[in-house]
């Protein structure tokens, strides 16, 4: 087994597991039961997507997926913060 | 060559004057009058320079390429007729400017008046000079619009606004009819060139569409020239300042209609239909105007109806169409302009000095203002057609034409009688104008004590009255040759050297004139007392006011009927509207695609990647869930929408559109926050809706589900079929090939946005700016419904009124503050690499906006705004300016708008960097996007701020009450 094959298997496995994790997060988003659960689930969806971008980029050998994961990494939490603040304070901006 | 340039100078001079006067200060009366007068005088100089060339017989032409790709040129032509008309417009324009300088009050805003007046002159002159019939219509409509603005100059008055609106509606609708007729003529002949249209009269008259063309054409001409039954707008337009009335509504604009009739008589005239429609309408207007004028008590009202009547006379002559009739018509255009302008100015002086225009209150003014009185008497004599005045001459020629045999129809036979009868009334109202105002006992209850006006105010009247006399006494020496040339240029035939003379011997026209004079004097003195005591308008008829009918019609058409139709076919319910739109879309697409939408023979597919398949399941489930929860659990739906959006971004990236994925991700984040901000203002859900479980509600929901499924499945099917088709060479390939060589960028999407299709982008960011401003404007006035004003905090938190935000979010808010610089760096990174790699002005702008937004999230508004000043409107303004300036800069290098340039620049330390002008354009996009996004977010956010202020205020009041 060469290094390339190993990496290929590893990346494919990672991709699949991330997608599976996304499915689980989705179930939580759909079912709730509390609004807080949904927000958390959405946040983990974002993290999953970010990692999926990175892994897919490595697998295809292109740098073009990097920006998307960068944007999620730096800015993805803004939506979560806004949702969370809405739940705590009832206002997003006060 | 020199003549062509002179024509272009003439076309632009008045517009230059309009621009110059528009920039003057509010009270620069003298400067505005000097600038306008001097430029009009220069125009007269140009006319003098053109006279020799025009008098040779051939029209002088000038063509300016305008939209060469469409074959649209600005083509101007001047022949003797146009020359005469323009000279008239310019001369009276100068006198009107002098008059207006002393007529307008010190407080009247200067730039608006003079710039409109000059723009009007320009539109009028260009209309007269147009060598293309479509261009003619454009300038024709321009005169309508500017006259609207001029009539409404004193917009504080209800009468001015109503009059302006009515004039605009009538004349502009007429203009539309004219446009239609010109389009049909263009279809018949295959050309819009005026010369060729005028030369192809036989073709047009023989065409089956000729009656339609004629009717539409006449609607245009008649509305402009206030012919019966469209005359009613002209008296309403008298709410304009007197200089405007004198210029537009007597001398020039209303003459545009008769100009057109005379101009097109070789092309459209000569048929029986033309004779009946034009001469018939003209005679009816002549008689009706003269009769009503006698019964008006308002000075300007009398003059307005008299103008209508005289326009009728000219129209009737144009309908007769013989060379001598055309000669008489042109002669009367000039004469009427001269004496009617002077009369309007005299009426303006009287109103100015006495404070009233009501003839029943005016009396015996001769003893206060003898000079003005004398001038008015001479001008009125010209209006009445007293011998030795210019009005007498053209009226005699009209009588001669009326007596002449034309085609023996009943209308032809009735002409002399109608003409004489109308003349009797004309003499009577002219007499009334003089006798009621200047003679009789001294006035008793005038608002002001009258006296002679300043000499300058009288000067234009003096000049015009002098012209009346000179033309009246020496017609052959003054206007004769010019008129003969003008007629030649209209009819194309040489006139058998017609001699305009005062004395033709005792003949029928002279007897008619004398009879009318005697009849008019008798009529006035017999009924003067009863007219003065009677109502405003002729007996019996004064109740039937065309103006009121128009108002009623307008009310019916613009208010009642639309509302009735709305009640039948419209709905205010969002659900119904949405359902209708979707159903219509389904029907339309279904009709268009039925039987044609087929799967390609060899569908193009990718190998299925299991992880992405799973992700799509996530996306689809989230989308379905969002739709499911949208009605009762908005917050949950919003969260689910976030999931669906995320998977969409993933899909974009997977299908090799990383650029789009980045942009969509950023938009997704902003949208979530925006929706959250809006969510707060939606009404609270009603817990129990008892009809909700009943059968009708279930049936309704089932129907909506079916509609939604059909629409969604249809779109999915279409997208699938299109995307699985084999690739065909399309414009995308061209972009891909040329992005680097033509525009110096390797990110094709960005190159398309800022270079290949930069003009579209420019339009889009303009729209974005408008949307941003609109949202801002709407939210400034937004007052939420009372039930939205509740405290949204969860109950266990509500007692913690005093605990500040910092206590809750101390650590997160510090992190958010620290995130600000990194976000700015990322924004710069996305921006700078945009031309070559994923990124660009739009995504960079949204990123920076998120950065600002984060600060608002982490702290309260007051904290942020005390430390960070964002001026979104300026960002937007600078953005638009930069983008526009980049485009305009291309002109400086001789390229079309928005041509980009790309090259590499050597920077110290960094090395070679690409530097395209497209980057500057992108800066504009960036700045505008930041501005618009932040503007909208802050506008919504401030709603909550206002609420909390109100709450504090209430709490303080309650405390104060308790303390008391």
- Over residues B262-274, the pLDDT tens digits come to 999 888 888 888 9
Q: Tell whether B642 is within 8 A of chain A (Cβ).
A: yes
DSSP helix/strand/coil, B63: strand
Give yes or no for residue B585 having a pLDDT over 60: yes
Q: What is the token pair recorded at B693? A: 């479980």
Q: Mean pLDDT, to the nearest integer, of B62-77?
A: 76
Other CB atoms within 10 Å distance of the CB of residue B272: 10
B186 Cβ under 8 Å from any chain A Cβ: no
Check residue B108 and report its DSSP letter. S
Over pLDDT 70: what percentage of chain B? 91
* Number of domains observed in the structure of chain A: 1
> What confidence tier does B897 reach under pLDDT thresholds 50, 70, 90?
low
Span B937-949, pLDDT tens digits: 888 878 777 777 7
Q: What is the pLDDT of residues B468-488, one digit of tens each?
A: 888 888 887 777 788 888 888
- Determine the residue among A34, A60, A78, A86 to mutate to test chain B binding: the one whose Cβ has the most chain B Cβ atoms within 10 Å: A78
Crossing angle of the two packed helices B658-679 and B917-963, in degrees rounded to 10: 20
Q: Which are the contacts of B941, defined by CB distance < 8 A and separation ≥ 6?
A: A92, A93, B677, B856, B861
Contact B450, B368 (CB under 8 A): yes
* Residue B234 touches partner A, C-beta closer than 8 Å: no
B750, B834 contact by CB (below 8 A): yes
Q: Looking at residue B898, what is its pLDDT?
A: 64
Option in A30, A35, A85 nearest B625 (CB): A30
pLDDT band at residue B515, thresholds of 50, 70 and 90? confident
How far does A56 lie from chain B, in Å, by closest CA? 9
Number of C-beta neighbours around residue A56 at 10 A: 23
Percent of chain B at pLDDT > 90 equals 23
Least confident of B8-22, B599-613, B894-908: B894-908
Across the interface, do B649 and A68 touch by the CB < 8 Å criterion? yes
Q: Is residue A11 part of a domain?
A: yes
Q: Rounded to 5 degrees, what are φ and ψ at B74?
A: -85, 105
pLDDT for res B542: 64
pLDDT at res. B116: 92
Q: Which residues in chain A touch residue B639, judged by CB atoms under 8 angstroms apart?
A: 29, 35, 38-39, 41-42, 83
- Give me the pLDDT at residue B358, please: 83
Say if strands B902-907 and B72-78 run parallel, antiparallel, or are unpaired. unpaired
What's the rounded mean pLDDT across residues B909-915?
A: 65
What's the whole-number mean pLDDT along residues B279-306?
89
**Cβ separation B650–A23 shorter than 8 A:** no
How is residue B180 written in tokens? 């239609």
Three-state DSSP state, B495:
coil
Would you state the pLDDT for residue B321?
A: 82
Mean residue pLDDT of chain B comes to 84
| pLDDT digit string, tens, across residues B20-61 | 888 888 888 888 889 899 999 999 998 888 888 888 778 888
So what's the pLDDT on residue B927? Answer: 93
Question: Which residues fall within 8 angstroms of residue B309, CB to CB, at 6 or more apart?
Answer: B285, B286, B287, B288, B289, B290, B293, B422, B425, B426
A77 lies in some domain: yes
What does the pLDDT average to over B336-364? 87
Asked whether residue A8 is domain-assigned, the answer is: yes
- Look at B665 and A72 and tell me if their CB atoms are within 8 Å: yes
Tokens linked to B586 = 């389904």
Tens-digit pLDDT profile for residues B368-409: 888 888 899 999 988 888 888 888 888 888 888 888 877 777
pLDDT for the residue numbered B86: 92
Backbone angles phi, psi at B132, to 5 degrees: -130, 130
| Three-state DSSP state, B636 | helix
The reported pLDDT for the residue numbered B282 is 92
- Which of A54-63, B216-225, B579-588, B589-598 is predicted least confidently? B589-598
Confidence of residue B588 (pLDDT cuts 50, 70, 90): very high
Strand partners, B62: B76
B198 reaches A (C-beta below 8 A): no
For residue A15, the distance in angstroms to the closest alpha carbon of chain B comes to 6
Quote the pLDDT of residue B259: 92
| Domain assignment present for A9 | yes
* Averaged pLDDT for residues B565-575: 84
Q: Counting runs of H as helices and runs of E as strands, what totals does chain A give?
A: 3, 0
pLDDT for the residue numbered B904: 66
Check whether B802 has a pLDDT greater than 60. Answer: no
Return the structure tokens found at B487: 């007629």
Domain residues for the domain of A29 are: 3-89
As a whole number of angstroms, the distance between CA B296 and CA B551 comes to: 20
Q: Do residue A82 and residue B850 have CB atoms under 8 angstroms apart? A: no
Chain B residue at shortest CA distance from A55: B611
Please determine, for residue B803, whether its predicted confidence score (pLDDT) is greater than 60: no
Closest Cβ–Cβ partner in A18, A39, A65 for B611 = A18
How far apart, in whole angstroms, are the C-alpha atoms of residue B221 and residue A50? 70
Within-domain flag for A58: yes
CATH number at residue A35: 1.10.287
Say which residue, B860 or B666, is predicted with more confidence.
B666
Q: Which one of A48, A71, A81 makes the best mutation probe of the B interface by having the most chain B beta carbons within 10 Å? A: A71
**pLDDT band of B911, cuts 50, 70, 90:** low
Give the A:B interface size as CB pairs under 8 Å: 175
pLDDT tens digits for B641-672?
999 999 999 988 888 788 888 999 999 999 88
Please indicate, yes or no, if residue A83 is contained in any of the structural domains: yes
pLDDT reading at B286 higher than 70: yes
- Taking the Cβ of residue B854 and every Cβ of chain A, the question of whether any pair is shorter than 8 Å is answered with yes
Measured between CB atoms, does B895 come within 8 Å of chain A? no
Closest CA to B846 of B682, B695, B669, B612: B669
For residues B415 and B283, the answer to whether their CB atoms sit within 8 Å is: yes
Sign of CA dihedral B557, B560, B562, B564: negative
The answer to whether B839 contacts A67, with C-beta atoms less than 8 Å apart, is: yes
Q: Which residues of B touch A19 (CB under 8 A)?
A: 610-612, 614-615, 618
Chain B partners within 8 Å of A90 (Cβ):
680, 791-794
Q: pTM of the full predicted structure?
A: 0.70
- Residues B136 and B194: beta-carbon distance below 8 Å: yes
Mean pLDDT calculated for residue range B155-184: 90
Q: Look at B103-107, B131-135, B626-630, B692-696 and tell me which has the smallest mean pLDDT.
A: B692-696
> How many Å apart are CA B161 and CA B260, to the nearest integer?
28
Element (H, E) at B916: strand B911-916
Question: Which B positions 861-890 lie with beta carbon below 8 A of chain A?
Answer: 861
Q: Which of B609, B641, B646 to mutate to test the interface with A (most CBs of A within 10 A)?
A: B646
Cβ atoms within 10 Å of B836's Cβ, excluding its own = 17
b/e per residue B64-74 (b: at least 16 CB within 10 A): eeeeeeeeebb
Q: Is residue A94 part of a domain?
A: no
Residue B541, pLDDT score: 65
B754-783: pLDDT as tens digits: 777 778 888 888 999 999 999 888 887 777
CB-nearest to B639 from A38, A67, A91 is A38
Residue B300 pLDDT more than 60? Answer: yes
- pLDDT of B826: 92
Q: Does the CB of B839 have a partner CB in chain A at under 8 Å?
A: yes
| CB-facing half-sphere around the CA of B315: CA atoms within 13 A | 33
Q: Which of A75, A83, A84, A85 to mutate to test the interface with B (most CBs of B within 10 A)?
A: A75
Cα–chain-centroid distance for residue B652? 44
CA distances from B711 to B578, B581, B645, B708, B728 (A): 12, 11, 20, 5, 28
CA B385 to chain CA centroid, nearest Å: 41
pLDDT in tens, B682-710: 777 666 767 677 888 888 889 988 999 99
Worst-scoring range by mean pLDDT, B272-286, B633-647, B886-900? B886-900
Which string of DSSP letters, residue by residue, matches B4-25?
A: HHHHHHHHHHHHHHHHHHHTS-
B628, B633, B656, B662: best to mutate for the A interface, most A CBs within 10 A: B662
For residues B900 and B432, which has the higher predicted lDDT (pLDDT)?
B432
Q: Which residues of B touch A8 (CB under 8 A)?
A: none
pLDDT of residue B478: 76
For the stretch B174-187, pLDDT in tens is 999 999 999 999 88
Using the beta-carbon criterion (under 8 Å), do A45 and B618 form an inter-chain contact? Answer: yes
């Amino acid at each position: 087994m060469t290094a390339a094959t190993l990496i290929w298997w590893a990346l494919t496995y990672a991709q699949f597991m991330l997608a599976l994790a996304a499915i689980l997060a989705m179930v939580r988003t759909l079912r709730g039961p509390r609004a807080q659960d949904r927000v958390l689930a959405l946040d983990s969806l974002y993290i999953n997507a970010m990692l999926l971008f990175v892994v897919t980029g490595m697998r295809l050998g292109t740098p073009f997926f990097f920006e998307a994961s960068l944007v999620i990494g730096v800015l993805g939490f803004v939506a979560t913060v806004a949702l969370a603040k809405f739940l705590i304070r009832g206002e997003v901006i006060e | 060559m020199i003549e062509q340039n002179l024509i272009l100078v003439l076309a632009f001079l008045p517009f230059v004057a309009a621009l110059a006067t528009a920039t003057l200060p509010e009270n620069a009366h003298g400067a505005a009058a000097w600038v306008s007068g001097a430029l009009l005088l220069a125009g007269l100089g140009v006319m003098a320079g053109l006279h020799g060339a025009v008098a040779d017989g051939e029209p002088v032409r000038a063509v300016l390429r305008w939209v060469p790709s469409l074959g649209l040129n600005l083509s101007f032509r001047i022949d003797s007729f146009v020359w005469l008309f323009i000279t008239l417009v310019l001369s009276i324009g100068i006198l009107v400017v002098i008059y207006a300088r002393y007529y307008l009050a010190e407080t009247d805003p200067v730039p608006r008046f003079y710039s409109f007046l000059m723009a009007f002159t320009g539109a009028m002159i260009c209309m007269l000079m147009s060598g293309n019939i479509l261009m003619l219509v454009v300038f024709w409509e321009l005169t309508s619009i500017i006259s609207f603005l001029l009539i409404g100059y004193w917009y504080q008055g209800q009468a001015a606004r109503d009059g302006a609106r009515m004039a605009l509606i009538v004349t502009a609708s007429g203009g539309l009819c004219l446009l239609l007729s010109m389009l049909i003529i263009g279809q018949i002949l295959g050309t819009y060139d005026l010369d060729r249209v005028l030369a192809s009269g036989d073709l047009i008259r023989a065409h089956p569409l000729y009656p339609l063309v004629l009717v539409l054409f006449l609607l245009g001409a008649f509305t402009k020239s206030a012919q019966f039954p469209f005359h009613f707008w002209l008296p309403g337009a008298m709410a304009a300042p007197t200089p405007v009335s004198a210029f537009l509504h007597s001398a020039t604009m209303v003459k545009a209609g008769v100009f057109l009739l005379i101009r097109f008589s070789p092309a459209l005239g000569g048929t029986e239909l033309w004779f009946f429609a034009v001469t018939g309408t003209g005679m009816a207007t002549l008689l009706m105007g003269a009769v009503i004028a006698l019964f008006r008590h308002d000075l300007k009202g009398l003059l307005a109806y008299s103008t209508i009547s005289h326009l009728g006379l000219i129209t009737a002559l144009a309908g007769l169409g013989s060379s001598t009739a055309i000669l008489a018509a042109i002669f009367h255009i000039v004469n009427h302009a001269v004496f009617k302008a002077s009369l309007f100015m005299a009426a303006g002086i009287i109103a100015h000095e006495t404070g009233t225009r009501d003839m029943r209150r005016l009396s015996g003014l001769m003893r206060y203002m003898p000079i003005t009185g004398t001038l008015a008497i001479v001008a009125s004599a010209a209006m009445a057609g007293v011998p030795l005045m210019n009005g007498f001459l053209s009226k005699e020629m009209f009588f001669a034409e009326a007596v002449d045999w034309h085609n023996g129809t009943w209308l032809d036979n009735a002409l002399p009688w109608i003409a004489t009868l109308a003349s009797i009334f004309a003499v009577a109202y002219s007499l009334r104008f003089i006798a009621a105002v200047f003679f009789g006992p001294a006035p008793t209850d005038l608002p002001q004590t009258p006296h002679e006006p300043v000499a300058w105010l009288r000067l234009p009247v003096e000049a015009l009255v002098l012209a009346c006399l000179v033309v009246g006494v020496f017609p052959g020496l003054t206007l004769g040759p010019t008129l003969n040339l003008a007629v030649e240029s209209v009819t194309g035939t040489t006139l058998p050297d017609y001699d305009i003379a005062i004395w033709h011997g005792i003949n029928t026209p002279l007897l008619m004139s004398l009879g009318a004079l005697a009849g008019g004097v008798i009529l006035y003195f017999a009924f003067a007392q009863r007219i003065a005591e009677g109502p405003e308008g002729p007996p019996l008829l004064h109740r039937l006011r065309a103006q009121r009918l128009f108002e009623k019609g307008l009310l019916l058409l613009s208010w009642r009927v639309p509302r009735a139709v709305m009640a039948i076919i419209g709905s205010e319910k969002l659900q119904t509207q949405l359902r209708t739109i979707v159903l219509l879309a389904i029907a339309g697409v279904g009709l268009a695609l039925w039987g044609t939408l087929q799967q390609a023979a060899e569908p193009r597919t990718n190998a299925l990647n299991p992880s992405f398949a799973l992700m799509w399941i996530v996306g689809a489930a989230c989308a379905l869930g969002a739709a499911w929860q949208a009605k009762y659990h908005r917050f949950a739906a919003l969260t689910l929408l976030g999931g669906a959006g995320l998977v969409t971004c993933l899909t974009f990236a997977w299908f090799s559109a990383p650029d789009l994925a980045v942009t969509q991700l950023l938009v997704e984040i902003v949208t979530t926050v925006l929706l959250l901000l809006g969510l707060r203002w939606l009404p609270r859900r009603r817990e129990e809706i008892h009809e909700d479980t009943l059968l009708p509600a279930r049936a309704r929901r089932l129907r909506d589900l079916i509609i939604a499924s059909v629409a969604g499945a249809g779109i999915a099917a279409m997208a699938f079929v299109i995307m699985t088709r084999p690739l065909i060479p399309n414009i995308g390939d061209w972009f891909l090939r040329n992005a680097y060589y033509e525009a110096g960028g390797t990110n094709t999407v960005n190159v398309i946005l800022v270079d290949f299709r930069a003009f579209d982008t420019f339009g889009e960011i303009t729209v974005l700016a408008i949307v941003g401003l609109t949202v801002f404007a709407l939210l400034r006035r937004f007052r939420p419904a009372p039930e939205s004003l509740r405290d949204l905090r969860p109950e266990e938190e509500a007692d913690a009124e005093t605990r500040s935000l910092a206590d809750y979010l101390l650590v997160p808010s510090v992190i958010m503050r620290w995130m600000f610089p990194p976000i700015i760096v990322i924004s710069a990174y996305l921006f700078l690499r945009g031309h070559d790699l994923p990124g660009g002005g739009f995504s960079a702008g949204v990123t920076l906006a998120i950065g600002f937004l984060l600060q608002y999230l982490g702290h309260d508004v007051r904290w942020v705004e005390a430390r960070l000043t964002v001026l979104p409107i300026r960002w937007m303004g600078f953005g638009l300016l930069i983008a526009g300036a980049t485009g305009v800069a291309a002109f400086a290098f001789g390229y079309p708008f928005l041509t980009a340039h790309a090259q590499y620049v050597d920077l110290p330390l960094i090395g070679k960097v690409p530097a395209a002008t497209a980057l500057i354009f992108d800066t504009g996009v960036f700045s505008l996007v930041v501005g618009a996004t932040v503007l909208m977010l802050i506008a919504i956010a401030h709603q909550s701020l206002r609420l909390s202020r109100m709450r504090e205020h209430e709490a303080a009041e309650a405390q104060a009450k308790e303390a008391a």
